[in-house]
Structure 1
Amino acid sequence: MKILIALSLLLCTSLVAAELPKPTDEPILTIAGLIQNSNSEGAADFDLKMLQAMPQHTIVTRHPWVESRHHYKGPKVSDLLEMAGARSTKLTLVALNNYEVEIEFDDIAEFEPILAWSDNDRVMRVRDKGPLWLMLPIDKHPELLQMPYNDFMIWQLRSIIVK
């Protein structure tokens, strides 16, 4: 009986909103809106170290903004949304210059986009379209060269709003 009670309590606490670790450096990404897990007044802030500590994935691809194949590295967008406890797949992506794009994440989830923080093994700076760039594997899926997919590849990404 005690084991059943302990398991029930464990299950209940895992369904409650969780606190994420707080960034130790300046946050470069904020996930806000319909999320369950936060570390900053209802939002989930991430610094570069937090993003680098997550499982990393590489996309090697060309796209309209580069002439040759580049190696991009970063966490999967789906992993970040899961970590924040996102409760919707409708997202607004916002860049540093306030450029916004709205997407249904389900429309691109099958392509497993990443939030690239590294381009050819170099940390991306703002002048290099960083600190974060939503990257899709265009070489593996040429259909991503069509609209609206190009619009989803927002660079200088600073926030994701879950609606």
Structure 2
Amino acid sequence: MRTLLFLLTLAWSLTAQSKAFDLKLLQEFGSSYTVSQEQLLSLPQKVIVTELPWVEGQTEFSGVLIGDIFSLIKKEIPDTITLIALNDYQVSVPREDILEYSPIIAIKKNGQFMSVRDKGPYWLIFPLSEYKEIDTMYYREKMIWQIKEIFY
């Protein structure tokens, strides 16, 4: 009986850890869209290798450009987007930063999907190592993790 209970608990925890999360896009006066992780993975993937204050050493992140997400729902990148985390923390990112520095919504870290415990399911990553001028508190504060929604 204990073995069966252990196996059931193990199977449930592995399923919970590998759960794919949807990303919601909410328009201020209108539509909302739900983009599945499968849809995000079908978009071109960009890799950023960078150093971050929260991770030791160089880390490889892969994910999608914000512009590609908006193209998927047939929208232009708005003047400002607000990213919202699972704990409802929010940051706003202006269109100029998106176009100039090409941050990604990271889906994987070092080739592995990110669990909620590991700052997933989605994490906004700016290429700090590529653009030394943005390795500042201002941009670090924008790199929100555990993203659940994009409001525009």
Query: TM-score, normalised to structure 2's length?
Result: 0.80
Q: Match for 1:32 among 16, 26, 30?
A: 26
Aligned residues: 133
Question: Residues of 1 paired with 2:110 and 2:94: CA distance?
Answer: 29
Which ranges of 4 or more aligned residues in structure 1 deviate by more than 6 Å? none
Question: Residues of 2 paired with 1:113 and 1:94: CA distance?
Answer: 16
Q: 5+ residue gaps in structure 2?
A: 1-18
Give 1 or 2: higher helix fraction: 2
1:76 aligns with 2:43: no
User: What is the aligned partner in structure 1 of residue 96 from structure 2?
Assistant: 106
What is the CA distance between 1:27 and its match in structure 2? 4.7
Question: Residues of 2 paired with 1:32 and 1:106: CA distance?
Answer: 20
1:53 aligns with 2:42: yes
Question: Residues of 2 paired with 1:81 and 1:146: CA distance?
Answer: 27
Cα contact 2:77–2:95 (8 A) shared by 1: no
What is the CA distance between 1:35 and its match in structure 2? 8.7
Question: RMSD of the TM alignment (CA)?
Answer: 1.9
Which structure 2 residues correspond to residues 75-154 of structure 1 after superposition, within 5 A? Answer: 75-84=64-73, 85-86=75-76, 88-154=78-144
Q: 5+ residue gaps in structure 1?
A: 1-24, 37-41
